[in-house]
Amino acid sequence: MVQLLSTEQMAEFANSGCLFFDGLIDNETNKEFLNDIGHTEIENVDNMQKYFQNIKASSSIPRIPAGTPLKNAYPHKSPLEKIFQNEVVAGAINSLVGSEAVVDHQFLHLTFPTKYFKKTNQRQMSQVNHQDSTIDPRITFDIQLFYFPTDVTKEMGGTRYHPGTHLRIVNEMGIAKYQNIKGQKKIVCKAGTIGIFHNGLWHGAGVNFSDEIRYMFKVRLQPTEKQELLWDPEKKYKPLPNKALYWTDENQEKTVNDILMKSYPWQEADTNRLDKINTIKFWRMLTGNKNLDIDYWLTRIENELY
Amino acid sequence: MTKRQKVLVLYLKFPSLEAEVISWATFDGTGQKLHMTGDSDEPPYPTGLDALLDGWRLFQSSQAIPEHPGEEFRTSYLKHEFFFEKIEEGDF
Ligand SMILES: [Fe+2]
């Protein structure tokens, strides 16, 4: 049985553009994955390119033609098949992109420690902020699923990301000049952690200042069906009634709308309101309710009488 | 003695130098410090005005461009961009 996401988790994703499942995959599977790619003690790795080529040549990670259904993408009993069959992973995928999602691409990202850059006299720089993979004005969205087979410490420079940026439509590295953005986060996690990003989320890889290689396996999944109430097949979701604004009721309980309307420290005063409007439009799409509103943002401007 | 330029780019919460810094970038032409993406979680100054008070000279800021009709709700790049410089003198 897959474990679909809760409405709160969907709202969290709609608002922040990401979800994390800390240490979800068991250690045995993590070890199996690392053995399969030929992970070895750092002392035995003397050349970055060669190490990477060996992984590509000998691991069970298949070459997957773009557009292949996820269902038949990974070899039977391989560590990656086990990961995608995990009930939480499968449930999250089904909730966001449906059970008939296809693979766009996959990659095993390796980030090498400082000594390899010193040896080859290269400047060790972090990856600039960007959005994958090109300007994308769709309402439909893809997800990028990340798997971390080892612990990622702060020194290892895990993926930097900017919660709440996923609905801003920019052109890939067009955001590279934003060196630092208030509220930026860096992934620090236990082995077996799974992260899921909306394809629009701004991000970049950090510099690895540790002595260990950092691994991150990524797969981008595309839906083939409308992303409406996929997490709620019985269609029980009902929009909440309007509440008093500004002159508010202090005793109001926190609801799913509070999750959806969360602000971020990097948002401009003016555009923050548009970010909220776009989140409500996104939630309309996800719930299939074209008239839904939160805090009157859309009702106010849709009341055109002329 | 030679001169080198240091550039500070600040993105502010609204289009006035009194506004809070929400994003920042530094490029050091003296070569003393290599800045890179993700290297600091706290802004160098709380507001644009604080950068002026510390001797940074403003040389460019973004203009207000009216939203395209029909595209008023489309969000994209950070809007309120301010470029500052300092000229450093020394043996670089
Ligand atoms: Fe990327």
Kindly give the distance from the C-alpha atom of residue A199 to the centroid of ligand 1, in angstroms, as a whole number: 9
Question: What is the separation, in whole angstroms, between the first and last Cα of chain A?
Answer: 52
Please list every residue in chain B whose beta carbon sits closer than 8 Å to the beta carbon of residue A178.
11, 23, 25, 78
Q: H helices of A98-169, where? A: 114-119
- Is the Cβ of A237 closer than 8 Å to some Cβ of chain B? no
B17-73 pLDDT tens trace? 999 999 999 999 999 999 999 999 999 999 999 999 999 999 999 999 999 999 999
A155 within 8 A of A174, measured Cβ to Cβ: no
Please list every residue in chain A whose beta carbon sits closer than 8 Å to the beta carbon of residue B78.
178, 266, 268
B78 domain-assigned: yes
Residue B52: per-residue pLDDT: 98
d(CA A249, CA A246): 9
Q: What backbone torsions phi and psi does residue B42 show, to the nearest 5 degrees?
A: -115, 135
- Residue of B43, B73, B76 lying closest to A182 (CB–CB): B43
- Residue of A128, A181, A274 lying closest to B73 (CB–CB): A274
Residue A45: per-residue pLDDT: 84
Which residue in chain A has the smallest CA separation from B78? A268
Please tell me what DSSP assigns to residue A189: B
Please list every residue in chain A whose beta carbon sits closer than 8 Å to the beta carbon of residue B12.
268
Count of structural domains, chain B: 1
The Cα of B85 is separated from the nearest Cα of chain A by a number of Å equal to 16
- Residue of B13, B23, B73 lying closest to A178 (CB–CB): B23
What is the number of helices (H) and of strands (E) in chain B? 1, 4
B19 domain-assigned: yes
Which helix (H) or strand (E) segment holds residue A58: the answer is helix A48-58
Please list every residue in chain A whose beta carbon sits closer than 8 Å to the beta carbon of residue B40.
180
Please list every residue in chain B whose beta carbon sits closer than 8 Å to the beta carbon of residue A184.
38, 41
B69 domain-assigned: no
B86 domain-assigned: yes
- Is the Cβ of A111 closer than 8 Å to some Cβ of chain B? no
- Considering the segment(s) A7-222 as one domain, its CATH architecture is Sandwich (2.60)
d(CA A174, CA A176): 6
Residue A16: per-residue pLDDT: 98
Question: What are the residue ranges spanned by the domains of chain A?
Answer: 7-222
Q: Which residues surround ligand 1, an ion (CB under 5 A)?
A: A 132
Q: What is the pTM of this model?
A: 0.96
Amino acid present at A140: T
B24 domain-assigned: yes
A153 within 8 A of A128, measured Cβ to Cβ: no
Residue A13: per-residue pLDDT: 98
Q: pLDDT under 50 in chain A at which residues?
A: none
B31 domain-assigned: yes
- Residue of B11, B13, B36 lying closest to A178 (CB–CB): B11
d(CA A147, CA A260): 26
A 116-135 residues with CB < 8 A to B: 123, 125-129
The count of C-alpha atoms lying within 13 angstroms of the C-alpha of A68, restricted to the half-sphere facing its C-beta, is: 13
Residues A93, A99, A101, A105, Cα dihedral to 10°: 50
Q: What range defines the domain where residue B36 resides?
A: 2-64+74-90
> Which residues contact residue A205 at a Cβ distance below 8 angstroms, ignoring those fewer than 6 apart?
A109, A111, A126, A127, A157, A159, A160
Please list every residue in chain B whose beta carbon sits closer than 8 Å to the beta carbon of residue A129.
37
What ipTM was predicted for this assembly? 0.97
Residue A42: per-residue pLDDT: 81
- Residue of A168, A180, A269 lying closest to B14 (CB–CB): A269
